[in-house]
Amino acid sequence: MAFPLPRGITPPEISFLAEMEMVTILPRQRLEGLELLGGPVEPLLPPRRASLPLWLALLLKRQRRANILPPPWLHPESLSLILDIETQHHEYEHTFSPPPPLPGQPSIRDHGQRPVAVPRYTPDGGRYYPAPPFLPQNVAQDHIPAGEPPSLPFHWLEVGTMLLDAASDDLVDPDQTRRLLKELREVRTAKIRSGVDVLDTASTGGGGVALTGVGAMEVGEGRGFIAGVIDGLRKIGASKEQARREQMAEDMANGGYGATQDDDDDMEF
C-alpha cells in the first residue's frame, strides 16, 4: 500500500542508477564549479575536458552546451572484439565476458596476481569498497594500455542506449554501434536462458549461482524469473534440505565433521 513496486530495483530505477556513472565531456561554454549533493562539479572551461555524472552531461548535451566523449568500450571496434569473445571463445561459451576489474583487482592480462581490496572508511567507521556506478568505467581514456582487452562495464546497456539516444552525433559510427549493442544483448540473453538449468544450486543453503560479468539491466530483467524459480525450488526442496541438515547434525555429533556441503562444484552460467 505504502509502496507498490516489487522487491529489487526496477528497470527505470536501474537507468536512474546508471545516470550516476561518470562520463567525460568537452564543454562548449564556461560554467563555474557547483556544490551538488552528489559531490562537487569541477568548473567547465572550454576546451578543457571535464568528468561529470551522466545525467548532468546529458542535460548539457541536450542544450548544446557540451559534447560527450564516448567511453572507449562504446566503439564499433571494441564492441566487435567483445562480441567475438562472447561468441567465439570456448572459455566463455556459457559465461559472460569478464567485467572491468574493480580497484585492486588484477586485470585479465596479469593472471595469477592476487587481488587486494583497499577499503575507504565511512564517517561511521565502516569499510567502504567503491563499485559501479561510482567507478570511472565510462570516462574517455587517451591511451589504453596495450594488450588490455575491452570489457563491458556493469551499466553498459543503459549507458550505451542513453548515449545513442541523446548524443549519437558524438559517437563513432552510431548505426554500427547500435547494431553491435543489439547483437551483444541477444547473445547474452541467450546465455541467461541457457543457464536456467543450474538455478537449482542457488536454492540450497550455502549454494549459489555465479553470474559474473552480468549487466545491471540484465539483472533487472532476469530478477523476476530467476527469483521466482529459485524461491519455488527452495520451497519444493525445503523438507529434503531439512532432512539433509538433520543428517549433518547427526554426523557432527558423531564426530564425523567433514562432509559439510556437497554443492561446491563450479556451477557457472
Question: Interaction with other proteins in 89-108: which residues (CB under 8 A)?
Answer: 99, 101-102, 104-105
What is the widest separation between alpha-carbon atoms in the chain?
76
Tell me the CB-side half-sphere exposure of residue 63, using CA atoms within 13 A: 9
Helices 238-253 and 216-236: crossing angle, nearest 10°?
70
| From 163-171, 172-180, 181-189, 239-247, span contacting other proteins (CB under 8 A) | 239-247
Q: Which lies closer to other proteins via its Cβ, residue 93 or residue 246?
A: 246
- Binding other proteins by CB under 8 A: which of 18, 74, 152, 230? 230
Q: 175 CB contacts (<8 Å, ≥6 apart)?
A: none
- Binding other proteins by CB under 8 A: which of 62, 89, 109, 127? 127
| From 71-79, 142-150, 160-168, 216-224, span contacting other proteins (CB under 8 A) | 216-224
Q: Is 206:263 a contact under the CB 8 Å cutoff?
A: yes
- Binding other proteins by CB under 8 A: which of 212, 224, 236, 256? 212
Q: Which lies closer to other proteins via its Cβ, residue 112 or residue 126?
A: 126
Count other Cβ atoms within 10 Å, centred on residue 99.
18
Q: Which of residues 148-207 bind other proteins (CB under 8 A)?
A: 199, 202-203, 205-207
Query: CA 127 to CA 72: how far, in whole Å?
Result: 31
Q: Which lies closer to other proteins via its Cβ, residue 20 or residue 85?
A: 20
> Please, what is the minimum distance in Å from the beta carbon of residue 179 to other proteins?
27
Closest CA to 151 of 135, 166, 129, 162: 135
Q: Is 186:178 a contact under the CB 8 Å cutoff?
A: no
- Rounded to the nearest 10 degrees, how much is the dihedral formed by the CA atoms of 166, 170, 176, 179? -20
Q: Which lies closer to other proteins via its Cβ, residue 113 or residue 173?
A: 113
> Please, what is the minimum distance in Å from the beta carbon of residue 32 to other proteins?
8
| From 8-16, 66-74, 176-184, 185-193, span contacting other proteins (CB under 8 A) | 8-16
Q: Which residues pair with 35 in a beta bridge?
A: 40
Q: Which of residues 61-80 bind other proteins (CB under 8 A)?
A: 63, 65
> Please, what is the minimum distance in Å from the beta carbon of residue 163 to other proteins?
18
Q: How many residues bind other proteins (CB under 8 A)?
A: 85
Q: Which of residues 26-45 bind other proteins (CB under 8 A)?
A: 29-32, 34-41
DSSP 32-51: --EEETTEEEPPB-TTS-EE
